[in-house]
Amino acid sequence: MNLRDYLTWVILPMLSLSVILVAYRFFKGPRIVNRVIALDLLITIGIGIITIFSIQANQATFLDDAMILALIAFLGTVAFSYYLEKRKGND
């Protein structure tokens, strides 16, 4: 079994299953914190899928897109934690 077969038949189905489970938590989450964490995890899984596609297509330019997506996810998480901190100070 080579790397492409392993990525196609093992890793991608695991990532697909994790997308389904995390999407369920995103839509079902009882609080906003659960939804933000689920969204951050969905973006991280998306970065993994982009990386696998980049390896299979032998195109390193997709990794730039993955890094930009990671930066946006990080900034969104920081902004949300800043919002929570300000909201806690107003209570």
Q: Using one digit for the tens of pLDDT, what is the confidence trace for 14-63? A: 999 999 999 999 999 899 889 999 999 999 999 999 999 999 999 999 99
Query: What is the rounded CA–CA span in Å between residue 27 and residue 34?
Result: 10
Q: Which domain holds residue 13?
A: 3-90
18 Cβ contact partners less than 8 Å away, ≥ 6 residues apart:
45
Binned at pLDDT 50, 70 and 90, residue 6 comes out as very high
Which residue's entry shows tokens 């929570």? 84
Average pLDDT over residues 85-89: 81
> Looking up tokens 């899928």, which residue turns up?
49
Q: Domain tally for the chain?
A: 1
pLDDT of residue 85: 87
Asked whether residue 64 carries a pLDDT value surpassing 80, the answer given is yes
Residues in Cβ contact with 35 at an 8 Å cutoff, skipping those fewer than 6 apart:
25, 26, 29
